């Protein structure tokens, strides 16, 4: 995959889900990906100056769109103060759609997710052994 391929994938995503904001496209080495957590499908919305406005360990275009609509509707005055929240959400698992999304993003995305699955499986085995031993 070339950098031009990554730019083309970002443009397809922009068209498919109607993104109007700038999209950061990491270089081939993935330094931004590494700096922001290395999970295979994370999403971040950054404000001016790099402040984190939204962070998700799993990308959902619908949820990002909902967040952006809420964020843009917020009052911008001194009577309102920002605060951080964290919440656990569930998502519907659609293996076919997920696989198509990985394939759309290229062979590296498929390989990285495969490696992540191996890491998660090893962590699960380690935790199970620790529970049995303890």
Rounded to whole angstroms, how far apart are CA atoms 111 and 38? 13
Q: What pLDDT, on a 0 to 100 scale, did the predictor assign at position 4?
A: 93
Tell me which residue range forms the domain holding 132: 92-134
| pLDDT at residue 1 greater than cutoff 80 | no
> Model-level pTM?
0.57
| pLDDT at residue 69 greater than cutoff 80 | yes
Rounded to whole angstroms, how far apart are CA atoms 111 and 73? 39
Q: What pLDDT, on a 0 to 100 scale, did the predictor assign at position 117?
A: 87
Mean pLDDT, to the nearest integer, of 66-86?
Answer: 89
What lies within 8 Å, CB to CB, of 49 at 6+ separation is none
Whether 102 is in a domain gets the answer yes
* Lowest mean per-residue pLDDT among 40-44, 47-51, 61-65, 94-98: 40-44
| pLDDT at residue 73 greater than cutoff 90 | yes
Whether 108 is in a domain gets the answer yes
Whether 40 is in a domain gets the answer no
| pLDDT at residue 22 greater than cutoff 90 | no
Q: If pLDDT is split at 50, 70 and 90, which confidence band does 6 have?
A: confident
* Lowest mean per-residue pLDDT among 8-12, 15-19, 116-120: 15-19
Number of domains in the chain: 1
Q: 25 near 4, Cβ under 8 Å?
A: no
Query: What are 44's strand-pairing partners?
Result: 55
Whether 52 is in a domain gets the answer no
- 50: left (phi > 0), else alpha (psi -120 to 50), else beta? left
Whether 35 is in a domain gets the answer no
Backbone angles phi, psi at 55, to 5 degrees: -140, 130
Rounded to whole angstroms, how far apart are CA atoms 109 and 117? 12
Q: Residue 52 belongs to what H/E stretch?
A: strand 52-56
């Amino acid at each position: 995959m070339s950098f031009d391929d990554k730019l083309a994938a970002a443009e397809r995503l922009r068209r498919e889900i109607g993104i109007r904001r700038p999209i950061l496209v990491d270089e081939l080495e993935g330094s931004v990906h590494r700096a922001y957590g290395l999970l295979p499908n994370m999403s971040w919305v950054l404000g001016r100056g790099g402040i984190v406005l939204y962070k998700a360990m799993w990308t959902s275009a619908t949820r990002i769109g909902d967040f952006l609509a809420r964020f843009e509707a917020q009052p911008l005055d001194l009577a309102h103060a920002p605060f951080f929240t964290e919440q656990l959400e569930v998502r519907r698992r659609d293996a076919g759609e997920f696989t198509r999304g990985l394939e759309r993003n290229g062979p590296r995305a498929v390989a990285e997710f495969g490696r992540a699955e191996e890491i998660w499986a090893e962590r699960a085995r380690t935790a199970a052994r620790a529970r049995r031993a303890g």
